[in-house]
Amino acid sequence: MKRRKTIQNKIDDKILKQSVDYAKKQPRLAFYSPVATAVFNYRKNVIPRYSISEELADIVEKALKDRYPSLVNKVKKLMKSGNKRAKRALSTVDEQARAADGQVE
């Protein structure tokens, strides 16, 4: 997978807020990948109560945090500052990540 150079290191707060507002209204993401589709559908068929959405969100969010840590931190802070539903969603994702890493009490 090719890595693109970051065009801009400075985060534009106005554009970030617009992006967070949009994400709160439309949190779904779609992409084209026959390989990922096959893998996730296989897992869905062999693992009871498996959620493609939960695993995919976990994978993507971990990759984003590795690639753009300061941007992810700013997004999380903005999301936490306004919307209770966003707070619950973020805490659920954090709990799932800790569980996947074996860090659940």
Q: What angle do CA 24, 28, 32 make, to 5 degrees?
A: 150
Residue 103 has pLDDT above 50, yes or no: no
pLDDT for the residue 64: 97
pTM: 0.65
pLDDT for the residue 41: 97
pLDDT tens per residue, range 3-46: 555 555 789 999 999 999 999 999 999 999 999 999 999 999 99
pLDDT for the residue 81: 86
Instruction: Give the domain ranges of the chain.
Output: 13-25+32-100
